[in-house]
Amino acid sequence: MAAILIIDDDIALLNACKVGLRALGHDVDTVETSGQGAAAVALDSPDVIVLDLGLPDLDGMEVCTRIRGWTDTPIIILSADDSEDRKIEALDGGADDYMTKPFGMRELDARLRVALRHHGADTGGDQSELRVGGLTLDLQHYEATFHGEWLDLTPKEFDFLAYLARHVGKVCTRRTIMENVWGPAYANDLHYLKVYAYRIRRKLHDQHGRFL
């Protein structure tokens, strides 16, 4: 059983999630504003946060960025906007997953379990730093350097590099990377890899792909 906090101003959706997720064994708490959400995250320490982007008092992306600034609790975004730009903005802003409305309760439950599994894998070991060639990744503080120079990486860019660093010397298929870094729901969205690899190579000054 996981403690789930849902931040959304849609009362009908909140009620449906309470019934559906509690029936699946989860402990569910709901709030309707970003202010209530931030307080609930700080006081109750939920296992996963489900966050709507269309909140009445503050844009959901701003809420996501603020929460991510002081906790690594998994965040699953809910939005009626299914545009690729919005998804990339959310993932870059610290979200772990992105769901579009309407959605099924079984899908939400599956994504919650994936988020918990990934979070457990990230925090379950004693390793706090990865080093590959000139790349150093501080897993506790989400900081990266390349040949001693600080890298300005988004959270998802960091996760992408960390996954590759953990599996250095092994063959990682594009589908495997998508499933483990973005989640199973993104297994076929392989174009994300090209976008992120291009951006990371620019930051590494590795446009020819000699390192990545």
Domains identified in the chain and CATH numbers:
3-123 (3.40.50.2300), 129-204 (1.10.10.10)
pLDDT of 77 reads 94
Sheet holding 97-100, edge to edge: 27-31, 3-7, 48-52, 75-79, 97-100
Q: Is 171 left (phi over 0), alpha (psi -120 to 50) or beta?
A: beta
Residues linked to residue 97 through DSSP beta bridges, in sequence order: 76
Per-residue pLDDT of the chain (212 residues; tens, 9 = 90+): 789 999 999 999 999 999 999 998 899 999 999 989 988 988 888 999 999 998 888 888 888 988 887 788 899 999 988 898 888 889 888 898 999 988 899 899 988 988 888 776 554 444 678 888 889 998 877 889 999 899 998 888 888 898 888 888 777 888 888 878 887 777 778 888 888 899 999 999 888 888 88
pLDDT of 177 reads 86
pLDDT of 18 reads 93
pLDDT of 48 reads 94
Amino acid at 147: H
Q: State the alpha helices, DSSP H only, in the chain.
A: 11-23, 34-44, 60-68, 84-92, 105-123, 155-166, 174-177, 191-204
Q: How far is CA 204 from CA 62, 122, 124, 198, in A?
A: 28, 24, 29, 10
Whether this model's pTM surpasses 0.95? no
β-pairing verdict for 97-100 and 75-79: parallel
pLDDT of 123 reads 47
pLDDT of 193 reads 85
